């Protein structure tokens, strides 16, 4: 058993003790596991904070089809080490996660799925742990494609993925199907194409799921259009390529009443449009990512293709506008858009290198250093942006620590006695997701120490503050660097 004495509850500042079983713990380096085994370990946690676990509704784990970049095992380990208890897996797997049965055994990635005994990517991912004989340290939901094959030509068919939704025929589902439902629709990596937008919005309306929209479309260009693109001699992407998708979908949300959530918003003009839509009362939410608040397109000159992403890094003015949108509440949540690639792929140059960076293992530190240390938001607001709001977008209730304490507190306890959250005792624990944070920790980002297979990040060597120290799901310590 691990006992953390004098830990602070994130939203009430109450000082409590926390007891957690250590069976099955994934320690960072194995040292404490070898030393302490399953015995009792007691730590003075004065200065540490207990918060609801982080959630990321925007990750790419490349499994099936591109496991040389990332797998469910490595992606979930990266998430747990970053303090995440819940993630939403985007549908640009290979084959795409569209609910359709795989009928071509020679298609890329098909063999992994078919050899498992299943014939859809959704079934494969839902039963991943049983198929591979592993226990993953993070809970995950699945996002279904908006278009068949994610090709943008024809909307997916509701009948092919309806059964995977929560609350649909639950009595006939096994535990894995119940644990990993389809909770959103997206063609992430691409905006929903104009020709099928109405059909996709009807899917969202009929299913009650949110449309998670990649708010960017361009046919040419590799980096943000401006002085940096001209200095590099690389074709630029105008900032209004993002606004065109945002404005289009806001109009559709007004027309249909469908909830549209915009991913990785990056420009001042898009934030202005979203701010106005929210003031109008439209069902619009949005996220941004750590790299858009921490970096501008000038980072391309220093980091090269490690700073190439889609949407591209924008101007310094847009970076400041991103922070302002976070501070004034226009941004609902922070998501990483964790996008693993090999370093060989990233070395191909600006025109050919794939877009994206990894971010799960340093997101809290980067955001804390820029937003909290920068004086733009509070410690509590950062936790809301990384935990409370993402969980709600995914349709889950975030863990209420005070409610747990109230339920477990002995009525005979002295009024002024310190309360104990004892996760070693039997009780209702399935929904618990917690992270232990050292908000004052200063540390250096080292990609070589990441649990992800990938290393494609511009944040290597950055000195940041705030670090997740342990991750807890249910009554299990799934990751610890205590």
> Which are the catalytic amino acids?
337
Cβ proximity of 122 and 99 under 8 Å: yes
Collapsing DSSP to helix, strand or coil, 343 comes out as helix
Cβ proximity of 77 and 63 under 8 Å: no
- Rounded-to-integer distance, Cα 445 and Cα 365, Å: 9
What single-letter DSSP state applies at residue 27? B
- Rounded-to-integer distance, Cα 80 and Cα 75, Å: 9
Collapsing DSSP to helix, strand or coil, 244 comes out as helix
- Rounded-to-integer distance, Cα 405 and Cα 260, Å: 36
Cis omega (within 30 of 0) on the bond before 311?
Answer: yes
Contacts of 175 (CB under 8 A, 6+ apart): none
Output the six-digit token pair for 476: 């299990």
Run of H or E residues at 70: none
Residue 313: phi and psi, rounded to 5, are: -55, 135
């Amino acid at each position: 058993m691990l006992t953390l004495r004098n830990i602070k509850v994130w939203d009430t500042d109450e000082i409590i003790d926390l007891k957690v079983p250590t069976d099955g713990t994934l320690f960072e380096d194995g040292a404490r596991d070898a030393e302490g085994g399953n015995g009792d370990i007691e730590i003075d946690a004065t200065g540490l904070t207990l918060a609801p676990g982080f959630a990321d509704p925007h990750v790419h784990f490349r499994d099936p089809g591109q496991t040389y970049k990332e797998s469910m095992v490595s992606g979930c380990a990266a998430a747990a080490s970053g303090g995440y208890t819940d993630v939403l897996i985007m549908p640009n797997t290979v084959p795409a996660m569209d609910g359709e049965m795989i009928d071509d055994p020679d298609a890329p990635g098909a063999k992994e799925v078919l050899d498992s005994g299943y014939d859809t990517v959704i079934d494969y991912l839902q039963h991943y742990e049983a198929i591979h004989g592993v226990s993953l340290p993070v809970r995950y939901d699945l996002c279904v494609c908006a278009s068949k094959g994610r090709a943008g030509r024809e909307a997916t068919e509701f009948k092919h993925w309806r059964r995977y939704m929560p609350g649909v025929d639950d009595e006939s589902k096994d535990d894995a199907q119940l644990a990993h439902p389809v909770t959103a629709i997206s063609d992430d990596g691409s905006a929903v194409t104009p020709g099928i937008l109405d059909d996709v919005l009807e899917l969202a309306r009929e299913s009650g799921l949110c449309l998670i929209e990649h708010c960017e479309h361009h046919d040419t260009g590799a980096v943000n259009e401006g002085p940096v693109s001209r200095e590099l001699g690389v074709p630029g992407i105008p900032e209004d390529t993002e606004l065109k998708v945002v404005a289009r979908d806001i109009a559709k949300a007004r027309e249909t009443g469908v909830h549209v959530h915009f991913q990785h918003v990056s420009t001042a003009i898009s934030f202005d449009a979203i701010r106005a839509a929210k003031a109008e009362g439209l069902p619009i939410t949005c996220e941004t990512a750590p790299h858009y608040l921490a970096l501008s397109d000038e980072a391309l000159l220093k980091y090269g293709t490690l700073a190439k992403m889609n949407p591209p890094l924008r101007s310094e003015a847009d970076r400041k506008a991103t922070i302002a949108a976070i501070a004034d509440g226009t941004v609902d949540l922070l998501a990483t858009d964790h996008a693993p690639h090999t370093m060989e792929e990233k070395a191909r140059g600006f025109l050919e290198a794939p877009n994206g960076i990894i971010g799960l293992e340093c997101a809290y530190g980067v955001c804390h250093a820029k937003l909290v240390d920068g004086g733009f938001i509070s410690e509590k607001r950062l936790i809301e942006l990384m935990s409370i709001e993402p969980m709600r977008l995914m349709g889950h209730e975030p863990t209420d620590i005070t409610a747990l304490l109230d339920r477990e507190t002995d009525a005979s306890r002295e009024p002024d006695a310190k309360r104990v959250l004892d996760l070693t005792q039997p009780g209702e624990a399935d929904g618990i997701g917690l992270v232990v944070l050292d908000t004052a920790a200063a540390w250096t980002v080292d990609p070589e120490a990441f649990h992800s297979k990938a290393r494609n990040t511009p944040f290597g060597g950055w000195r940041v503050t705030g670090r997740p120290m342990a991750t807890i799901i249910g009554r299990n310590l799934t990751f610890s660097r205590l």
